[in-house]
Amino acid sequence: MAVKSHKLNSGYTIPAIGLGTWQSKPNEVALAVESALKAGYRHIDAAECYDNQSEVATGIKASGIDRSEIFITSKLWNTHHKPEDVEVAVNITLRDLQVDYLDLYLIHWPVAFQKGATDEERFPINPENEQVHVIDVPIEDTWKAMEALVKKGKIRTIGVSNFTQEKIERLWKTATIKPAVNQIEIHPYFQQSAFVTWMQENGIVVEAYSPLGNNIYNLPRGVDDPKIHEIAARLGKQPAQVIINWTVQRNIVVLPKSVTPERIAANLETFELPKDAMDQISSLDRNHRYNFPARLGVNIFGEKTEEELRRSVEEWKVAQRKLKASKP
């Protein structure tokens, strides 16, 4: 089966399967991107804060695939939310990716940081409290600057990432261009079904990051679940393929990450899961969000108490002090 695509509110289309590049080590990314494009991928998901966009460009060039055939996404990092910094960030991304426009540009998180000493500093620290230097920049102001870059032709489509329904509705009140996409954490243990339905009913294309589960938190992953393995064995498929196609059948764009050419190719294979398999996977939902940077002290998803956030910030500060003390 050919990879399906989704129509965006900008009039462009986005392939339903893309290569994720988060947590790919710099010396692995170029080969992964090259392998993906040669295997038939036409969608690459990148971000400034992954610090590997130059390697993404190397992989694109090595693939021999014309840029016009590739849907390229990048994301605005938290240090560049002030309106005057947005175009600076986009220009850096265009330079690193060696392209003259982006197909999709997302606000990576609904949190703004004070800009550091350089554009490359990701987590500036506030010397007064030793915390990541979070500042207040209205998302409406950041969004307006992104809209201006659509008019300039540097970006074709704009969207958000890690936004709640409340934050999207807030943005709607002032937006000239509505967010086309919301890229969020979705996997069998965190399915966000009601939120996904709401976005799809409102013309927002949903993208799933960490679709197989996230292995940086040492927590159980959906791709390792016995039920997923049972379904995969029954269908003669790999567990990752089962989850990817379960996501695609929910009309969600999925962004699996791999640096192994064989797995990259296998992840692009599309097939239809029978209803009983879809239902079995749906039953695995634990409503368990893995990716929440509590150390910022910001209640991004409205799911934590002030005391939980305060404790997380203090634990992070203690860990940072220990790290500094251990350095020669």
Tens-place pLDDT, residues 288-310: 999 999 999 999 999 999 999 99
Is pLDDT of 141 > 90? yes
Q: Give the whole-angstrom CA distance, residue 294 versus residue 309.
A: 6
Q: Give the whole-angstrom CA distance, residue 141 versus residue 171.
A: 10
Residue at token pair 């589960």: 213
Q: pLDDT band at residue 23, thresholds of 50, 70 and 90?
A: confident
Q: What is the mean pLDDT of the chain?
A: 97
Is 50 assigned a catalytic role? yes
Q: pLDDT band at residue 258, thresholds of 50, 70 and 90?
A: very high
Query: Residue 302: its pLDDT value, please?
Result: 97
Token readout for 158 is 């704009």
Query: Residue 1: its pLDDT value, please?
Result: 73
pLDDT digits (tens, 9 = 90+) for 80-114: 999 999 999 999 999 999 999 999 999 999 999 99
Q: Encode burial over 80-119: b for 16+ CB neighbours within 10 A, e otherwise.
A: bbbbebbbebbebbbebbebebbbbbbbbbbbbbbbeeeb
Record the pTM.
0.97
Q: Which of 12, 41, 50, 290 is catalytic?
A: 50
